[in-house]
Amino acid sequence: MNTLFYKIIFEPQEEGGFTAYVPKLPGCVSEGETYNEAYINIKEALELYLTTQKERNIC
């Protein structure tokens, strides 16, 4: 099994919390009230994104 690495960008929001996204994967975005919550959520979003791409034979 190959290991893939993706850059994740975290941006603090004025109203509080963080938005996280993966620049190489359009639409792979999540958020959280804390940095840790945003990290957990973007990891889940990334896994779902890649699973969906694999199921659709896109990657």
Any domain includes 31: yes
Q: Is residue 18 part of a domain?
A: yes
How many folded domains does the chain comprise?
1
Residue 2 belongs to a domain: no
**Nearest-CA neighbor of 18 among 1, 40, 38, 48?**
38
Domain range holding 15? 9-55
| Full pLDDT tens readout for the chain, 59 residues | 688 899 999 999 999 999 999 999 999 999 999 999 999 999 999 999 999 998 988 76
pTM, rounded to two decimals: 0.87
- 23 is a domain residue: yes
Tell whether 21 is covered by a domain.
yes
d(CA 35, CA 50): 22
Residue 40 lies in a domain: yes
Does residue 15 belong to any structural domain of this protein? yes
Query: What was the pLDDT predicted at 59?
Result: 61
Dist. CA 8–CA 37, nearest whole Å: 14
46 found inside a domain = yes
